[in-house]
Structure 1
Amino acid sequence: MLLVALAPPSAHAQADRPATAVIASDAERQTWSDPLEALGTVRADESVTLSATVTEIIRAVHFNDGERVAQGDLLVHLEDLEEQAELAAAQARLVEQRNVLARARDLAERNLGARAELEDARARVQQAQAEIEAAQARLAAHRIHAPFDGVVGLREISPGMLVSPGTALVRLDKLDVVDVDFTVPSRHLGAISRGQTITASTDAYPDRRFSGRVTGIDNRIDPATRSITLRARIDNDDGALRPGQLMQTILERDRREVVAVPESVLLPQGEHQYLFVIDREAMTVERREVEIGERREGWVEVTGGLDPGERLVRHGIQKVRDGDAVRVLDVADEDNPIREILRRHRDALDTERNGP
């Protein structure tokens, strides 16, 4: 009897099948953390409302709405003619008393004057100097200067307005950096420390993310809510963020390096997870079981069975089997989404499915 060795039909079929068109993705090494979400409020790095300390009429206003000012800039000038006159009189008295002191010193050196008269003359000079300093202080109270670089608020005063001690003249905020205060449940206190990274967003800029670091942790827990307040600092060079603005914050805890893959590359079967790894030289696929960990917004942590940089079948996973030859149309990532790849290759894929 003649025996003929026949290959399994599946092997013949597999060898005869053309390479399957797929879209790939690479396993990536990413930095992950355990996020803690909270709502926060923006605060200026430095903030002050400058007020009048005397009763007087505004002589001039030297700022406009929302203007940037530098430390030392004159913002508001109150009428100060009387104070200038007092300063001039004090300066004249100082000149007079210095002349008296010079004469008393000359007489004392020639033993023609009493030592007591010389000491009295020196005391009167010191008194005149003190009067000048007092007059200068009164004059300075009529000129309001910026204590630091910042941005002024809306102007609500005008020349000719009478102000009194405590009257608010201008609000000044330092906004090149801002603080964000937010509260978290006190049960997380053991996992919180200064220097941790936060990511913040606001509805005013839905496509933008702001990064910062925790700079302060309150020393008390709110007994009513059992929460604790944290403060993070965020760069704000362009002035996009304003005091009082609501922010959604994400505090990153337990940062670690992981191997991550897009969720769509996984092929679950019961309690097991599989994916297809592409051999870049042979252009064939290997069905491989992997161990997974946490999930993050379309990504999955792979804790075993895969190395970073390995290429995987992402689109077309249902059309391939272990050992199949594949043809990679492109590698999908954030800048090259699957939709765009399919659009570019639509005609070729239609021909492949339906024939010429």
Structure 2
Amino acid sequence: MIIMLVAVAIVLGGYFAFQSFKAKMIHQFLSTLSNPPQTVSTVVASDQQWQPQLQAVGSLRAVNGATLSLEVAGVVEKIGFDSGQDVQAGQTLLQLRSEDDVAKLQSLQASAALAQVNYDRDLRQFRAQAVSQATLDTDNYNLRNAKAQVDEQQAVVDKKTLRAPFAGHLGIRQVDLGQYLNAGTAVVTLQSLDPLYVDFSLPQQELSHIAIGQTVSATVDTYPGQKFAGKIVAINPLVDTDTRNVQVRASLGNPDRRLLPGMFVTVMIDAGAPHQQVTLPQTAVTYNSYGSTVFLVKHAPKDDKSLVATQTFVTTGATRGDQVAVLTGIKPGDVVVSAGQIKLHNGTPVVVNNKIQPTDNPNPTPVDN
């Protein structure tokens, strides 16, 4: 009898143990179905040397640049330049027909010469008391008037000639021989290409980080990966009241003339000394109106073999390339989700797959396809 009772107890105990194990397995299965592991990529937060920089967008302009034209109308008689030519200051570029003006100038010069002879003769006679002071004064007035008319006509003749106001590089010629030009008609552009100015604006709070003579570097999408060095040469003493920005001008060397006025450039200015900073790929940070967050990957509280995602708030700083500086919220060595966080919430099981990683380059360059 006792043996029978023991056997029954063993059977019942085994049955209830099996039912408990079965219920536990079903619960785990249903839990897995409701919260399945998500595949993510991760990156380890690390300290990197960080150079604080100011970035601005600017435009290139020539130190000297102008579209040349004449003040007077006339017919083109001579062209003394070719498109794309380098010229020196004062070099003759274009001559309008000026025979009538030159002839009038010569007539006036002859009248001035006669007035000079009359004045000199009457001056000698005045010293000999042969003529009156009034006669000498009249001769002096006639001489000065004749010289003024010569200067006036000389200016008219000079305006028929176009000269380079400064040394530089000519653009494309816009006129032809024999063409009638109205006053102000564009003849050719002239640009001084080395050095070039780059004008850009910075917020007023950055004024303490810039100074005359400070080094800058500029990049142009025309030449990916190349930097052009320069220095700040002027800071506008007036802050724009609409934007609260201040205009800054830097000078860039351009000996090979690869840069041209009017180009769009990105300007970088080092602001302060380099320091160590925790960085992450920008894809790792989720920006929200209530704050920026990242997901850390940690072991499950009761299972060292399982990994779960834990959301935490962070304070971000400046960006450079694909990276962002993290000021608070994580420390070096933390494992952070770099891709796939859109499907996560606190406690979500995760599986790490780092075969494909988001870019994390502080100085990325475009790839030509």
TM-score bracket relative to the smaller structure: 0.5 to 0.7
Question: Which of these residues, 89, 101, 107, is aligned with residue 71 of structure 1?
Answer: 89
Question: Which of these residues, 212, 216, 220, is aligned with residue 198 of structure 1?
Answer: 216
Corresponding position of 2:227: 209
Question: Which of these residues, 35, 39, 42, is aligned with residue 53 of structure 2?
Answer: 35
Name whichever of 201-210 and 230-239 sits farther off.
201-210
**Identity, % of aligned positions:** 30
Corresponding position of 2:159: 141
Distance in 1 between residues matched to 2:208 and 2:115, nearest whole Å: 69
CA-to-aligned-CA distance 1:88-116 (integer Å, 9 cap, x gap): 01111112112212321232233322232
Please state if 1:104 is matched with 2:94: no
Corresponding position of 1:83: 101
CA-to-aligned-CA distance 1:269-306 (integer Å, 9 cap, x gap): xxxxxxxxxxxxxxxxxxxxxxxxx99889xxxxxxxx
Secondary structure of the structure 1 residue equivalent to 2:64: strand
How far did residue 221 of structure 1 move? 3.8
Question: Which of these residues, 177, 182, 190, is aligned with residue 164 of structure 1?
Answer: 182
Corresponding position of 2:25: none
Question: Which of these residues, 49, 53, 60, is aligned with residue 71 of structure 2?
Answer: 53
CA-to-aligned-CA distance 1:164-216 (integer Å, 9 cap, x gap): 22222222111111011122333322322222211111122224321111122
CA-to-aligned-CA distance 1:289-334 (integer Å, 9 cap, x gap): xxxxx99889xxxxxxxxxxxxxxxxxxxxxxxxxxxxxxxxxxxx
Q: What aligned pairs does 1:300-339 form with structure 2 within 5 A after superposition?
A: none
Please state if 1:239 is matched with 2:257: yes
Say if 1:57 and 1:161, in contact at 8 Å, map to a contact too. Answer: yes
Secondary structure of the structure 2 residue equivalent to 1:238: coil
How far did residue 128 of structure 1 move? 1.4
Closer, same or farther in 2 for the Cα pair 1:135/1:295, shift >3 Å?
closer
Total equivalences in the alignment? 237
Please state if 1:153 is matched with 2:171: yes
How far did residue 80 of structure 1 move? 1.1
TM-score scaled to structure 2, two decimals? 0.58
Distance in 1 between residues matched to 2:235 and 2:133, nearest whole Å: 65
Distance in 2 between residues matched to 1:143 and 1:86, nearest whole Å: 17
Q: What is the one-letter code of the residue matched to 2:221?
A: D
Secondary structure of the structure 2 residue equivalent to 1:93: helix
Secondary structure of the structure 1 residue equivalent to 2:162: strand
Corresponding position of 1:132: 150
Name whichever of 155-164 and 178-187 sits farther off.
178-187
Q: What aligned pairs does 1:212-231 form with structure 2 within 5 A after superposition?
A: 212-231=230-249
Secondary structure of the structure 2 residue equivalent to 1:175: coil
Corresponding position of 2:32: none
Say if 2:51 and 2:275, in contact at 8 Å, map to a contact too. Answer: no
Say if 1:196 and 1:253, in contact at 8 Å, map to a contact too. Answer: no
Please state if 1:95 is matched with 2:113: yes
Say if 1:210 and 1:234, in contact at 8 Å, map to a contact too. Answer: yes
Say if 1:60 and 1:158, in contact at 8 Å, map to a contact too. Answer: no
Any unmatched runs of 5+ in structure 2?
A: 1-48, 277-317, 323-369
Runs of 4+ in 1 over 6 A off after TM superposition: 294-298
Closer, same or farther in 2 for the Cα pair 1:182/1:295, shift >3 Å?
closer
Distance in 2 between residues matched to 1:193 and 1:211, nearest whole Å: 16
How far did residue 224 of structure 1 move? 4.9
Name whichever of 199-208 and 175-184 sits farther off.
199-208
TM-score scaled to structure 1, two decimals? 0.60
Distance in 1 between residues matched to 2:121 and 2:245, nearest whole Å: 74
Superposed CA RMSD: 2.9
Say if 1:47 and 1:171, in contact at 8 Å, map to a contact too. Answer: yes
Corresponding position of 1:118: 136
Q: What is the one-letter code of the residue matched to 1:133?
A: D
Distance in 2 between residues matched to 1:127 and 1:224, nearest whole Å: 55
Secondary structure of the structure 2 residue equivalent to 1:54: coil
Q: What aligned pairs does 1:293-304 form with structure 2 within 5 A after superposition?
A: none
Say if 2:52 and 2:274, in contact at 8 Å, map to a contact too. Answer: no
Distance in 2 between residues matched to 1:112 and 1:179, nearest whole Å: 68
Please state if 1:252 is matched with 2:307: no
Say if 1:185 and 1:228, in contact at 8 Å, map to a contact too. Answer: yes
Q: What is the one-letter code of the residue matched to 2:137?
A: E
